[in-house]
Structure 1
Amino acid sequence: MLQETKISENLSIVKPKKKKREDKVAETEMKKLENVLFGSLYPVEFGKNIEEEEDALFITDRSANSALSVYEEDAAIVATEDLAPRTPVWVDEEEAKTNINISKVNRLRKIRKEEDEKIISGSEYVSRLRAHHMKLNPSTDWARPDSHVYNSDDSDGDFDGILQTTEDLVVPGSSKLLPGLLEYSRLVDANGQDPSSGPINSVQFHRNGQLLLTGGLDKKLRFFQIDGKRNTKIQSIFVDDCPIRKASFTPDGSQVILSGRRKFFYSFDLVKAKMDKIGPLVGREEKSLETFEISPDSKTIAFIGNEGYILLVSSKTKELIGTLKMNGTARALTFGNDGQELVATGGDGQIYHFDMRSMSCFHKGVDEGCLTGTALGMSPKGNIFAAGSDSGIVNVYNKEEFLGGNRKPMKRIENLTTKVDFIKFNCDAQILAICSSMKKNSMKLVHVPSFTVFSNWPPANKALQFPRCLDFSPGGGMMALGNAAGHVLLYKLNHYRHA
């Protein structure tokens, strides 16, 4: 009752009349006492100079929103004489002079108060923009210091452990790559610090995802540290008697095998930084060992020999440990089942499956529509493989169905028109890269789950030139492409988080 009485007395003097100075001072002291005991209804309006009006003892807050406007005619705040006047730190004088036509711009019509309103002042324009911003961006309870959003009694509300781990707080909803458009970014060339003077024939990432090797016809084996920004060159090795046709890390990352159109090949030990020349192989008369594949267990190197022979060499002793034979000429190889199987294709258009334990062929099947097989690629899990031919057609097979007698491919890809030279699956087999070195920009990236080609690849303006080789980083985040101009183009695949 006492508070209501005091407030009613306060409201009854909103419009003060002319009184004597003594009465005004006494009345002011009374209101000061009321404010100390019960608090004022509204805060003092900042930036208002009390001395502007000679007899103004009260200031009405006009900045309140519509919800509080019912009190504007009934309440006032007593301004004390000892309150120091406050002025804005900075005032833009042009705001009052500037007029804004809010009817010409569509997005400004939403701040009109009347339908036919057109011109408003600059200060009014700023005020309405602020009010509109507050309307679109209301304050959130969890951001307030005095807020308690979470219930401590809730059994599911254990948030103390969030900051006690280094795990990601935001986890991607799905790792599924969508078809249509491939999100990628062009980075600095992988060999930008030392481009090759000849065509690039081999490019491969080390299993750590940071080291990249390049090899080409300029007889140089180069190593680069890939970061996407500088791609620093680490080392360059000149092999004076062997233009490099292929160079590859062993899967365990301990050495590099490189070869050319020679009777011998080289092995480079990464730990000892030592290059060894091996060959010719005892008992063999091959004049070229330019094509080979290394088994996933790093134990065996399979070279393509003469007249359909496949030469098996131990990666440890570098000695010939066995041979496999095809009916036609051998053109392409790939390993499967963790190195226990070898798949080969060649001049007779058939696909051979060899058992590495018994050194024998356990299955042979015709590659549909293929006269001469030129390329092979196996998915990391070994459940599907792709075979390319000299006509530019790539057939993708389910391995179990193919071995079971079903020779019908899962998909027949006909996007290339010249001989397929290279086939490569990425780390999770969602992308299949196929390329031909006989035509500019002749490279396609296939979305494997849907077997559709990404429509925005290759880039426009023949940026790839004549592609010759490609490799995906172990985590899938980067893709390196070597071309005949001696450049290794580097791309970041935005769907994958790690290199």
Structure 2
Amino acid sequence: MKPLYSSEDDNSDRKNGVVVASGYEHPECADDVLRTNGLVLKRSVKLLPGLLEYSRLSYANMKDPSQGPVNSVQFHKNAQLLLVGGLDRTLKFFQVDGKKNEMIKSIFLEDCPIRKAAFSPDGSQAIILGRGKFAYTFDLVKAHVDKIGPFAGRDEKSVESFEVSPYSKTIAFVGNEGYILLVSSKMKELIGTLKMNGSVRSVAFTNDGQQLLSSGGDGQIYHWDLRTRSCFYKGVDEGCLTGTALSVPPVGNLFAAGSDSGIVNIYNRDDFIGGKRKPIKVIENLTTKVDFMKFNLDAQILAIGSRMKKNSMKLIHVPSLNVFSNWPPPNKAVHYPSCMDFSPHGGFMAVGNATGKVLLYKLHHYTRA
């Protein structure tokens, strides 16, 4: 069976039916420097506030829509490859060009209604989680499915969510009773645990992979040092009773914290750790639980959303910390949004929803997908 992806193919134009982007450039390699609200970013073009220039494209999964709510969408960092997973127990991969969006592989997992799926940051595998004591991995090179867990010494009835460290070495699973399970992505074994006072609902790695943020039932945000596996700071998320979502951008010094009330607080991380717990911006545009948040690659856009209300998704212009006034589209076009992702160079935005569709948009500010 041909592989979906090979690390040797990163700079080629087309291999094995997958279009691969060449010349991948981290935003820190671009030309201009913008300093604002804790951001220290190098990038070629400054995104202006107000109106976002975008257009609707064909559904990303139009060749094979999901037969249930879509819970995960993610672009591969080196290829024009989009992962789609949902409650129909099927993981699909689409070659996204904005026009044909061909499906190139589908994997059915009999016992795994997919709650979350994600590429490892090195792009070599996909991690798939249902609701149970274990997860799956799919090796994109060998086209092989394997299991992670159950974990020795743990009695979690269900592992609810996960995040992978930026360098793909560690997977942080959300466990029961405030436990965060640290698992080696290579050996697929438990290598340590962290323990919050309340339940844990969300985790996010810092962009250097050395720290982990977590939030949950006690309304506090924990900062963990993964080298010592200890909490070096925790502070109250202002106005939050239960934290439900966290996001850290790939560059800069901000983080966003969402709660069950729909409030999103944006903080300067150094200020927060230093005891200045006031957010630099409170986003009050959502009125139901914050389910997902995502910064784009150069941290000029933050997407926030809730599954519980139609069209309940906003895009925030991060340098000004103001919401783009022309998103979402009118007429409840997004339906009940459930997940989203930005493409590696910012040109595409994919939004999964409860109808099984993945909406695809072109963001005109970014010239490359």
**Does TM, scored on the shorter chain, surpass 0.5?**
yes
CA-CA distance at 1:337 after TM superposition = 4.0
Whether 2:310 is the aligned partner of 1:440: answer: yes
Query: What is the aligned partner in structure 2 of residue 416 from structure 1?
Result: 286
CA-CA distance at 1:462 after TM superposition = 0.4
Letter in 1 for 2:209: G
The structure 2 residue matched to 1:240, chosen from 92, 100, 110, is 110
Kindly, what percent of the aligned residue pairs are identical? 72
CA-CA distance at 1:382 after TM superposition = 4.7
* Cα-to-partner distance string for 1:383-417 (whole Å, 9 max, x where unaligned): 10000001000000001111111001010000000
The structure 2 residue matched to 1:291, chosen from 131, 138, 161, is 161
Alignment map for 1:366-445 (pairs within 5 Å): 366-445=236-315
* Cα-to-partner distance string for 1:190-238 (whole Å, 9 max, x where unaligned): 0000000100000000011400000000000000001001000000000
Whether 2:311 is the aligned partner of 1:464: answer: no
Count of residues in correspondence between the two structures: 329
* Cα-to-partner distance string for 1:27-83 (whole Å, 9 max, x where unaligned): xxxxxxxxxxxxxxxxxxxxxxxxxxxxxxxxxxxxxxxxxxxxxxxxxxxxxxxxx
CA-CA distance at 1:290 after TM superposition = 2.8
Whether 2:173 is the aligned partner of 1:303: answer: yes
Higher relative contact order (CA 8 A, sep 6+): 2
Q: Matched residues in 2 for 1:296 and 1:454: separation?
A: 29
Query: What is the aligned partner in structure 2 of residue 350 from structure 1?
Result: 220
Where in structure 2 are there 5+ consecutive unaligned residues?
A: 1-30, 33-42
Letter in 2 for 1:320: L
Where in structure 1 are there 5+ consecutive unaligned residues?
A: 1-170
Q: Matched residues in 2 for 1:309 and 1:369: separation?
A: 24
Q: Matched residues in 2 for 1:334 and 1:430: separation?
A: 19
The structure 2 residue matched to 1:197, chosen from 67, 88, 94, is 67
Q: Matched residues in 1 for 2:49 and 2:284: separation?
A: 18
CA contact 1:435–1:443 (8 Å) conserved in 2: yes
CA contact 1:203–1:470 (8 Å) conserved in 2: yes
CA contact 1:477–1:497 (8 Å) conserved in 2: yes
Alignment map for 1:40-439 (pairs within 5 Å): 175-439=45-309
Query: What is the aligned partner in structure 2 of residue 81 from structure 1?
Result: none
Query: What is the aligned partner in structure 1 of residue 7 from structure 2?
Result: none
- What is the Cα-based RMSD across aligned positions, in Å? 1.3
Larger Rg: 1
Equivalent position SS for 1:402: helix
Query: Structure 1 pair 382/340, CA: closer, same or farther in 2 (3 Å)?
Result: farther
Q: Matched residues in 1 for 2:342 and 2:70: separation?
A: 16
Could you say which structure has the higher strand fraction? 2
Equivalent position SS for 1:339: coil
Could you say which structure has the higher helix fraction? 1
CA-CA distance at 1:264 after TM superposition = 1.0
CA contact 2:207–2:250 (8 Å) conserved in 1: no
* Cα-to-partner distance string for 1:265-290 (whole Å, 9 max, x where unaligned): 10100000000122211111111123
Letter in 2 for 1:311: L
Letter in 2 for 1:403: I
CA contact 2:116–2:161 (8 Å) conserved in 1: yes
Letter in 2 for 1:387: A
TM-score by length of 2: 0.88
Letter in 1 for 2:91: L
Query: What is the aligned partner in structure 1 of residue 15 from structure 2?
Result: none
Q: Matched residues in 1 for 2:160 and 2:137: separation?
A: 14
Q: Which runs of 4+ in 1 moved over 3 A?
A: 171-174
Q: Matched residues in 2 for 1:195 and 1:374: separation?
A: 28
Equivalent position SS for 1:272: coil
Query: What is the aligned partner in structure 2 of residue 489 from structure 1?
Result: 359
Q: Matched residues in 2 for 1:441 and 1:330: separation?
A: 27
Q: Matched residues in 1 for 2:344 and 2:144: separation?
A: 25
Q: Matched residues in 2 for 1:356 and 1:221: separation?
A: 31
Letter in 2 for 1:358: T
* Cα-to-partner distance string for 1:151-186 (whole Å, 9 max, x where unaligned): xxxxxxxxxxxxxxxxxxxx9996110111100011
Q: Matched residues in 2 for 1:331 and 1:253: separation?
A: 26
Q: Matched residues in 1 for 2:296 and 2:99: separation?
A: 23
CA contact 2:159–2:176 (8 Å) conserved in 1: no
Q: Matched residues in 1 for 2:196 and 2:368: separation?
A: 40
Q: Matched residues in 1 for 2:312 and 2:115: separation?
A: 20
Q: Matched residues in 1 for 2:293 and 2:330: separation?
A: 22
Letter in 2 for 1:315: S
CA contact 1:209–1:475 (8 Å) conserved in 2: no
Equivalent position SS for 2:298: coil
Query: What is the aligned partner in structure 1 of residue 23 from structure 2?
Result: none
Query: What is the aligned partner in structure 1 of residue 27 from structure 2?
Result: none
CA contact 1:336–1:382 (8 Å) conserved in 2: no
Equivalent position SS for 1:338: coil
CA contact 2:70–2:354 (8 Å) conserved in 1: yes
Equivalent position SS for 2:208: helix
